[in-house]
Each structure stands twice: as structure tokens, then as C-alpha cells.
Amino acid sequence: MNGKAEEVETVIVGGGHAGLTMSYFLSQTGRQHVILERARTGERWRSERWDSFCFQFPNWTIELPGYKYRCDDPDGFAPGCQIVRFIEEYAAFVNAPMRCGVEVTSLEQAADSGHYLLKTNKDAIKASNVVIATGPYQLPVIPVASADVPKNIFQVHSNAYRNSTQLPPGAVLVVGSGASGCQIADDLNHSGRQVYLFVGRHSRVPRRYRGKDFAYWGPALGRTEQVVDTVPVHLRKGAELLLTGANGGYDVDLRAMAARGIVLLGHLQGINDGELMFADDLEQNLAKGDELFANFKKAVDDYIRTNGLEFPVERESDVSRYIPSPMSRLNLKDANISAIVWATGFRCNFDWVKLPVCDEAGEPVHRRGVTQFPGIYFLGLRWLYKRKSAFLLRASGAEDAAYLAEQINARSCLAKG
């Protein structure tokens, strides 16, 4: 590392869609900046998705400011490799000043007031502004119960799962009934594996309803535009929406999965000497998911009726009436379970930020991405300002990035007198 730090007006940390969107708006205002990316453009889309992964929203929604995804099937669902292609194309479109292979190891206050020092695996950079755009999915969360799993059981987090051949022969236990857990369970089931799936709280929504995709109805109902302060914390941190774009997109219906042979269990409570302990809450969790599914359809029906619109009427499916037989116990050896996939989510990791910008839980403290430290900003987090803030669809992050660009421009102009 050289002795003297390079000086840059604004540094964006993270070269995914959020960082590139920030670059777009800074370029629009003529502000000097660089993007530091620890690996490659859109790295998590490259290396932290399973082989059969498809984008959860239809192709017509894939858009970043000034640029739309190009394809022949607007209602289809792009595989992960095409999302990587799109992000790469966007980086070229905005002529992003990207520096790949540069990992920021420390962000701290510089010796001179009003600047920040970023230490990297290359050289140090001094900046007036730093936009942290590393996304909400940083460190895999694996429950402490994993330490009690017998040593002969293969364990992998969802971000490192690729396909069934990666796992040893035998049945597979999937822990986590969010979008990733359900999609991986289906992927394993389609490959011929016996799958056991722990089911916790989840939010079922229809893939398509009344002739339109969920991606149409969410904005139509105003849900994507919900502002963070208007939604209670427990709802913002509630169950993840169950959506999949695999195999052309379909309803993620846990009862239908059980009908296909996937064994559903209540949420995992612990593991003791190869014996799995799980709560007696399977039917309760399934019923709640069904209720949310029905509520969403009712909201759409009410919206259509209130606005005097014409949309086709849906026929109800019989699959959702399937009631899986609950199990009271499960032994890993008896069930021939050879592998566990932990689809248990992620947490933020801002340990490299040597400024008190996070709360005791490690969550950033900010107001619409603006922290208490002048020039330090966050972008691309869930619920940064609105429900849509972290999404890669319909240029959802543009509003947040444009707002931060305004803050940076105003601050820079003030500094120059």
C-alpha cells in the first residue's frame, strides 16, 4: 500500500445494481466518483445462486435507470446468468468507473476534518463522501443448532448450494421455508431426492392472479410504494414473500409440495444426538400462509371492483386443500438424511466500518440512507425508504439513489463555497 492516499470526491462501495444506480445519478450531476467492488460486477448473482435459480419477477420488470432488460419473452423469468449479463451491460451503459478486485477493509475518519479514509487490499483512498451499497444479503445466518449436527452429515448454506449432485446420496433436510428454502426443496425434489422441509412463518402470494403477475398487482395496490415510517417494524421484518420464477413461474404452495412427496415439519427447535426437535406448529403456519394468500387475492378483487376494471375471473385450485400428515419426531439416521441445507437467511456485516453508524444489532442507523456522519450514506438496504428500495425491478432503487445524489451534490457545492 502506498504511503499517500488517493483523493476521490465520492467512493461507492459495492458494484451491484445499487452501486451502479448510484453511479448513474452521480454522473448525471457531473460528480467525480469511483466504485470499489471486492470481486466482479454483480458478484452475488454470479457465485451465490443455485444452478436452476431464476429471477423472481418477470423480464418486463428488469430495469435500471435509463436501461431495460432486452429479451424476446417479456413474461418469462430470466436465469441468474442473464441477470449477470444485464448488470454487466448496465455498467458499460453508464460507463461506471468500476475497480474490481478491490476490497474495502476499513472505513474510518481521516486525520483531516471532513474526509474519510478507506483502506483496501490495494491502496488507501481519501473521500469526502462514501456510499455503502453492499446490499442486505452479506453474511449467511446459520443457527447454533448446526453445531449439534452429527459430523457425518453434510451441511451447506443456501448461498453455497448449487445442485443435488453437490450433496452426498440420501435424503436432504432443508431448514427455512422462505423463497430460497422452498425453491431449493423443489429443486431437490425434482432431482429425485427425498426432501424434509421445516416450515416457519411464511407469506404466500399468487404468482399470477386475474390474468396478471404479482409484479403487476403489488404496485397497483400501492404496496411497493409504502414508506418505511408508515409500516410497523414487526411487519417490515415479517415473513418473506414466497415467489419463484423457476419453470416459468408458479405458485409456491407448501401443501402442493407435500402432495409431491416433500415432508413438511414444524419449525426447527434443536438437535440432540441425531434427533430433530421441532414445534407442533406446522398446520398453524400453513393456515397463516393460506390466509395471507387469500387476503392478497381479496385485495386485488376489491381493487378491480372499486375501479370498475375488467379482468378474467380465476378458477380455484384444489391442491391447497391437501393436508400433510404431521410428524412428531424425526431421527437423522433413521430418515437416511445425509445433508442439511440451511436456507436461514442473511445478516448485514459492517464490521469494516469503523464509525458508530450501526445500532447494537448491527443494523445501520440512517434516515433515508443519510447517517449522522456528514458524507456517509447507505443504499440498497431493505426498507431503506420504501418497501421497493432493495429490489432489482422497475428501477426501484432510482428514487433512493437520486435523493442521495442530491445530498452529495449539495454538500460538495457547499464545500467549494
pLDDT of residue 417: 60
pLDDT of residue 393: 84
Picking from 298, 319, 342, the residue at the C-terminal end of a domain is 342
| Pair (197, 114) in one structural domain | no
Q: Which residues pair with 127 in a beta bridge?
A: 8, 116
- The CATH number of whichever domain residue 63 belongs to comes to 3.50.50.60
Q: Is residue 72 in some structural domain?
A: yes
Q: Are residues 390 and 335 in the same domain?
A: no
Number of structural domains (the chain) is 2
Same domain for 185 and 220?
Answer: yes
Strands (E), 238-383: 241-242, 263-265, 268-272, 275-278, 330-331, 337-342, 346-347, 376-378
Residue pair 241/201 in contact (Cβ under 8 Å)? The answer is no
Query: For residue 233, is it within any domain?
Result: yes
Are residue 168 and residue 313 in the same domain, yes or no?
yes
pLDDT at 318: 59
* 74 and 181, same domain (yes or no): no
How far apart, in whole angstroms, are the C-alpha atoms of residue 13 and residue 379? 10
The pLDDT value given to residue 415: 74
Give the model's pLDDT for residue 326.
73
Q: Residues 23, 161: one domain?
A: no
Pair 229, 166 in one domain? yes
The answer on 151 and 108 residing in a single domain is no
Could you tell me if residue 148 is inside a domain? yes
Could you say which DSSP state residue 381 is in? -
Assign residue 221 a region: left if phi > 0, alpha if psi is -120 to 50, beta otherwise? alpha
Residue 1, domain member (yes or no): no
CA distances from 386 to 64, 110, 335, 412 (A): 17, 32, 44, 26
Last residue of a domain, one of 342, 368, 391: 342
Query: 58 with 176, same domain?
Result: no
At 189 the pLDDT is: 97
List helix spans (H) across 29-163.
43-47, 80-93
Same domain, 123 and 165: no
Q: Is residue 314 part of a domain?
A: yes
Asked if 153 and 290 sit in the same domain, the reply is: yes
Within a domain: 39: yes
Distance CA 370, CA 413 (A): 17
Using the 3D structure, point to which of 309, 342, 375 is the last residue of a domain: 342
Same domain, yes or no: 119 and 208: no
Residues sharing a CB contact under 8 Å with residue 388, sequence separation 6 or more, in sequence order: 224, 225, 394, 396, 397
Place of cell 378491480: 304
Which residue range is the domain that position 231 belongs to?
Answer: 140-342
pTM of the model: 0.94
Tell me what pLDDT residue 343 has.
96
Q: Which parts of the chain sit beneath pLDDT 50?
A: none
